[in-house]
């Protein structure tokens, strides 16, 4: 237990010293170090963006050349782009594209997780539901050749979900970054090269 706390403190203190809002930034940094995939210009969607560290990291990489749209249930006033408050389970993809200022995104990334209940199976199922929502949105907003990063809680439904992602991209891999807590069951699917034939039409915006 003490070792886990020290490990957690290391990443938290490092993030604070670097001016990032959360330790989770180092998960994305490792994905970038291993995959060299984050865009330096274009459009990016950040699902489950609060408190904003992933988009902060992208903004530092790219400066003002990226259009960033973040979505979260929790208000994120310091988000370094356009923030939409709402649920990825219900937000229309057309609203996301409108906020991007262009027809497609170069990258969709999701660090979404439910408020955990303490029951491992229930938490797993609820998180997979969020991951599936991220995949659905990616199929509506990504450009052909675009990339997808999504958090997954490992468990009974995880292999099926990985297999759901694979047909829509040229390459997929699982990554568990070093900054992930040792007791955590999370990993990330990194999917490269979105296939044009997998593109879904946008849902119409909700009127009223």
Taking the C-alpha atoms of residue 142 and residue 108, their distance in angstroms, rounded to an integer, is 7
Residues whose CB is less than 8 angstroms from the CB of residue 78 and which lie 6 or more positions away in sequence, other chains included: 21, 51, 52
- Nearest Cα neighbor of 74 from 63, 85, 88 is 85
DSSP 21: S
- Give the whole-angstrom CA distance, residue 201 versus residue 208: 21
**Does the annotation mark 16 as catalytic?**
no
Spatial neighbors of 177 by CB under 8 A, at least 6 apart, are 26, 27, 30, 31, 188
- Distance from C-alpha of 197 to C-alpha of 186, rounded to nearest angstrom: 30
Write down the catalytic residue from 14, 36, 41, 151: 151
Q: Which residues are catalytic?
A: 151
């Amino acid at each position: 237990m003490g070792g886990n706390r020290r490990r957690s403190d290391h990443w938290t203190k490092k993030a604070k010293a670097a001016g990032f809002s959360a330790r989770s930034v180092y998960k994305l940094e490792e994905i970038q170090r291993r995959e060299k995939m984050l865009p330096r210009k274009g459009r990016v969607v950040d699902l489950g963006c609060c408190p904003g560290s992933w988009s902060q990291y992208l903004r530092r990489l790219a400066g003002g050349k990226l259009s960033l749209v973040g979505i979260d249930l929790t208000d994120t006033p310091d988000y370094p782009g356009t923030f939409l408050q709402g649920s990825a389970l219900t937000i229309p993809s057309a609203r996301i594209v409108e906020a991007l200022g262009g027809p497609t995104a170069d990258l969709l990334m999701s660090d979404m997780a439910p408020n955990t209940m303490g029951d491992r199976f229930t938490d797993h199922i609820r998180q997979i539901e969020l991951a599936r929502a991220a995949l659905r949105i990616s199929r509506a907003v990504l450009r052909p050749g675009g990339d997808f990063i999504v958090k997954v809680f490992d468990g009974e439904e995880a292999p099926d979900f990985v297999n759901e992602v694979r047909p829509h991209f040229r390459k997929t891999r699982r990554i568990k970054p070093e900054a992930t807590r040792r007791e955590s069951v999370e990993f990330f699917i990194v999917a490269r090269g979105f296939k044009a034939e997998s593109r879904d039409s946008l849902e119409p915006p909700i009127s009223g």
